[in-house]
A = this chain, B = another copy of it.
Amino acid sequence: MVVHDSLLWLRRGAWLLPLLVALSGSAQAQAVDPLPSWSNGAAKARIVAFTRAVTEPGGKDFVPPAERIAVFDNDGTLWVEQPVYFQAFFIRDRIKALAPKHPEWKTKEPYASLLKGDMKAVMAGGEKAVMQLAMATHAGMTSDEFSAIVGDWIATARHPKTGRLLTDMTYQPMKEVLAYLRANGFKTFIVSGGGIEFIRPWAERVYGVPPEQVVGSSIKTKYEVRDGKPVLVRLPELNFINDKSGKPVGIQQHIGRRPIAAFGNSDGDFEMLEWTTKASGARLGLIVHHDDAEREFAYDRKSHIGQLDRGLNEAGSRGWTLVSMKADWKTVFTPPP
C-alpha cells in the first residue's frame, strides 16, 4: 500500500512538470528574476546593480559578507501606515479589552474618548495622552506576557478599509528585496520608530527577520524573580525613541556597524539614510514614495504621518532612489494564501 501511495503521488504530480515547462517558454528567465514584482525601471535596476557591485569578488566595490548590513524602516516601508500606524490599532483594541477591569476609564481622559471612538478628542490631549495610552497597554506585564498578547492580537487584527489581516498589508516588492539581499549574503535589520517588542513577535514569520535583528523604540524593563520564576517586567517609563536622529543611534547600539543599504519612506528615516549613504564605498539609499491612491494610499508632504519634505527635496542631490509605488511596483501586496 505504501508503494501504491507513492505511485499515486507520482501520478498526481509528476506528469505536470514537463507540461508546465513546455507551456512557459520564459520559465528560465522568470526563475532568475529576483524581483518579479518590480517593473523593469530605474529603481529595480539600481537595486540589482548595487547588489551585484558589492558582491562581485575582486570588484572595486566588493564588500565582505560580514559588512553587508541593510536596514529597513517598517511603517510605510514594509507595511501600510494609513490611516494610522498599526500600533495605534493595537493600543485601541487593548484599551477596549482592558476597560472592564478599569471602570474609572469611563470618565477619565484620554481613555473615555478612546472608548467612545472619538479619536479627535484623544489627539487633542497631545503627546501626553498618547503616552498615557501607550504605557497603559505596553507596560505592567512581563516581556513574555506582552509578546503573547501581541502574537494573539496580530493573528486576527484586520485593516479597517480593506478588511485584510494587517500582516497581509505588507509590501510584496519589499519582501522580495529582503529575500534578495539575504540571498546575497546581507544581514537584514528592521529599524523602526515603532515598539521593538511590538514587531518582534511576528517579524520572523512575516519578513524573515529574527528578533535579534529588530531595532525599535522601547520602554524600560526590570529583572526580578516572582515566586521563584525569573521575569522581565515592563515599566511605564520610556527607554529610547528610535526615530529621526535616534535611528543612527539605535543602529550603532544594536548593530555596531554602519549599514551599506537603507530603505525608508518618510523624514523619520532621513538621518538613517544619511548615516548609511554619506560614506565612502558603494551605498544604496531608497525611499518608497506613496503615490498610488488606487492600490494603496497617496501622500507625502501634507500627511499627518510619514511626512516626506526633506526626503523629496534632497533625494536627487543625495543619490537616493525614489521608488514610485504606482510605476515601479507591478504588485503591491502579497496575494492571500
User: Which residues A246-263 have CB closer than 8 A to chain B?
Assistant: 246, 248-249, 252-257
- Chain B residue nearest to A203 in the complex (CB): B256
Asked if A225 is an interface residue, CB under 8 A from chain B, the answer is yes
Contact at B254–A223, with CB atoms within 8 Å? no
User: Most B CB atoms within 10 A — which of A196, A221, A249?
Assistant: A249
Asked if A221 meets B252 with Cβ closer than 8 Å, knowing A274-B230, A278-B229, A278-B230, the reply is yes
**A229 surroundings in chain B (CB, below 8 A):** 278
Which residues from B are CB-within-8-Å of A210?
A: 66, 257
User: Which residues of chain B are near A143, meaning CB under 8 Å?
Assistant: 252
Q: Flag whether A232 is at the interface (Cβ < 8 A).
A: yes
Which B residue sits closest to A187, measured CB to CB?
Answer: B212
Cβ-defined contact, B212 with A254, below 8 A: yes
The residue in chain B whose Cβ has the minimal distance to the Cβ of A272 is B223
Q: How many copies does the complex hold?
A: 2
- Per-position 1/0 for A222-245, Cβ under 8 A of B: 111100111010000001000001
CB distance from A271 to the nearest CB of B (A): 6
Residue total for A at the interface (Cβ-Cβ under 8 A): 38
Q: Is A86 an interface residue (CB 8 A)?
A: no
Q: Is A325 an interface residue when CB atoms closer than 8 A count as contact? A: no
Pairwise interchain contact A249-B222, C-beta atoms closer than 8 A: yes
Inter-subunit contact A248/B275 (CB<8 Å) = no
Q: Is the CB of A200 closer than 8 A to any CB of chain B?
A: yes
Distance, CA A69 to CA B256, complexed state (A) = 19
Contact indicator B223/A271 (Cβ below 8 Å): yes
Residue contact A248 to B223, C-beta cutoff 8 Å: yes
A36 at the interface (CB under 8 A from B): no
Question: Are A204 and B248 interface neighbours, CB within 8 A?
Answer: no
Counting CB contacts under 8 A, is A218 at the interface? yes
Determine whether A211 belongs to the interface, using a CB cutoff of 8 Å to chain B: yes
Cβ-based interface call for A300 (8 A): no
Contact digits for A64-96, partner B, Cβ 8 Å, 1 yes 0 no: 001001000000000000000000000000000
* A275 near B223: Cβ-Cβ < 8 Å: yes
A225 vs chain B, min Cβ distance (A): 7
Residues of B close to A252: CB separation below 8 A: 143, 221, 232
Cβ-defined contact, A254 with B256, below 8 A: no
A200: chain B residues at CB < 8 Å are 256
Report if A54 contacts B (CB, 8 A): no
A35 within 8 A of B: no
Chain B residues contacting A197 (CB-CB under 8 Å) are 256
Tell yes or no: A174 within 8 A of B by CB.
Answer: no
> Which residues of B are found within 8 Å of A225, using beta-carbon distances?
274
Given contacts A212-B257, A230-B274, A256-B211, contact A221 B204 (CB under 8 A): no
Across the interface, name the chain B residue whose C-beta is closest to A251.
B232
